[in-house]
């Protein structure tokens, strides 16, 4: 290994060095090849990953659970409602106790500060499985998928169309680390977090990437190598759904918008998709869609993360 990552928290791509991002991607490639060729690789025998969920999950839970099993370890599902957190135990005390039982901890929750606090008081590495601010494991998997398909990352143009949410934030950080230009196209009142944008642009200055925030989808996707979208109302925003559907209607990724990009543009979505809202059926199921390759690659990238940090 070029970079030692044992014991490292994975809370934000911004916290990773460019070398660490490259280490994760390269390790994921090796582990995917091992899986496809049937080679058994189990460096985590006897190791246990705790997984705390305050938000519902399909891909995050299954990919982490399968990843840990394939690496020879065990993944323990912990519903937050069943923990003593529900009865007032502090995050700090929970972190101290779980550190005595587990080898690593993954959490999928609402408040990003809860993950930061959990990591601060844990003696074991903590992985951010998603917060309202960031979704680093998804964005790392996206980098892996793009490089797998395009053969490179630096100099590509990714256009994210939709809400300036946790996915937009992590894609900005991810692109900035690897020299990939990221344009976030969103309604004026739904822009990415200002501090995240500032930090992403700082990272981008070192890699040669450009981070843009714009509001017109048609001009945004010009020369795009990748068009990426996400649901318009994230978990916890369900009551805003009807309002958001009206506001975001001009930001739908449909055939007309895709035709404004490069002929070989790739379509990405972190799933779950609300077909007919942020993306149409014909685009999601188009030959240029790599959405389900993204979903598969969550497994391989998360295996890489676990193998590197435990």
Active site residues: 108, 135, 138, 230, 270, 298
> Which spans in the chain are helix H?
18-37, 59-70, 91-101, 112-121, 136-150, 166-178, 194-207, 217-220, 241-248, 255-258, 281-284, 291-309
Q: Which of 251, 250, 261, 270 is nearest to 288 (CA)?
A: 261
- State the residue for tokens 């990773």: 16
Residue 196 phi/psi, 5-degree rounding, is: -60, -45
Separation of alpha carbons 41 and 28, rounded Å: 13
Strand order of the β-sheet with 74-79 is 74-79, 48-53, 104-108, 126-130
Which residue carries 């944008």 as its tokens? 197
């Amino acid at each position: 290994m070029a970079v030692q990552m044992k014991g490292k928290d994975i809370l934000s791509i911004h916290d990773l060095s460019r070398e660490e991002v490259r280490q994760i991607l390269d390790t994921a490639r090796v582990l995917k090849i091992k899986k496809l060729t049937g080679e058994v690789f189990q460096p985590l025998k006897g190791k246990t990953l705790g997984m705390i969920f305050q938000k519902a999950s399909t891909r995050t839970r299954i990919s982490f659970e399968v990843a840990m099993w394939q690496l020879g370890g065990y993944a323990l599902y912990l519903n937050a409602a069943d923990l003593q957190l529900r009865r007032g135990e502090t995050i700090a005390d929970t972190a101290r106790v779980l550190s005595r039982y587990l080898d690593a901890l993954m959490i999928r929750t609402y408040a990003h500060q809860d993950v930061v606090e959990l990591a601060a008081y844990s003696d074991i590495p903590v992985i951010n499985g998603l917060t309202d601010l960031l979704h680093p494991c998804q964005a790392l998997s996206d980098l892996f998928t793009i490089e797998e398909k395009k053969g490179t990352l630096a100099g590509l143009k990714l256009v994210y169309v939709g809400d300036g949410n946790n996915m937009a934030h992590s894609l900005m950080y991810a692109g900035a680390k690897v020299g990939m230009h990221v344009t976030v196209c969103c309604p004026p009142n739904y822009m990415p977090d200002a501090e995240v944008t500032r930090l992403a642009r700082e990272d981008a200055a070192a890699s040669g990437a450009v981070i843009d925030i714009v509001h017109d989808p048609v001009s945004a996707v010009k020369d795009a190598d990748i068009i990426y979208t996400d649901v318009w109302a994230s978990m916890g925003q369900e009551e805003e759904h009807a309002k958001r559907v009206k506001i975001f209607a001009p930001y739908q990724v449909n055939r007309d918008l895709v035709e404004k990009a490069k002929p070989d543009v790739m379509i990405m979505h972190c799933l779950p998709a609300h077909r007919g809202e942020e993306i149409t059926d014909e685009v999601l199921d188009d030959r240029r869609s790599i959405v389900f390759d993204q979903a598969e690659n969550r497994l391989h990238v998360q295996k890489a993360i676990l193998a590197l940090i435990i």
